[in-house]
């Protein structure tokens, strides 16, 4: 247990993150999400769907995952406020850890 989060739960959520953010993000989404709010939403929805299918988050946690992904990705892809990919990933992982820690 890490901060009250079981290792199994943490690994499932991390797997959902990496599958949703990388494996299920098409080249089209990657290129266009910085130019189009609609494409950014498609990517965020696809990302969140992986969690819904495999991690079964609460409705509140699902909304937080979608909204934060919809906000964080344009900070990198559209506005260039986030440079390195590790910072973008760090923000997504902090979101996941907070959801799990707060038991949302």
pLDDT given at position 41: 98
Nearest to 65 by CA among 76, 53, 81: 53
DSSP letters spanning 26-80: -HHHHHHTTT-HHHHHHHHHHHHHHHHHHT---HHHHHHHHHHHHHHHHHHHTS-
Please give the chain's pLDDT, 104 residues, in tens: 777 899 999 999 999 999 999 999 999 999 999 999 999 999 999 999 999 999 999 999 999 999 999 999 999 999 999 999 999 999 999 999 999 999 99
Domain map of the chain by residue range?
Answer: 7-101
């Amino acid at each position: 247990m890490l901060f009250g989060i079981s290792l199994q739960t943490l690994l499932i959520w991390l797997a959902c993150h990496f599958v949703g953010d990388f494996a299920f993000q098409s080249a089209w989404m990657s290129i266009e999400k910085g130019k189009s709010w609609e494409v950014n939403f498609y990517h965020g929805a696809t990302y969140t769907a992986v969690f819904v299918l495999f991690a079964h988050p609460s409705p509140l946690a699902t909304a937080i995952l979608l909204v934060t992904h919809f906000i964080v990705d344009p900070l990198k892809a559209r506005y260039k406020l986030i440079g390195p990919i590790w910072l973008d990933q760090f923000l997504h992982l902090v979101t996941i850890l907070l959801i799990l820690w707060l038991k949302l």
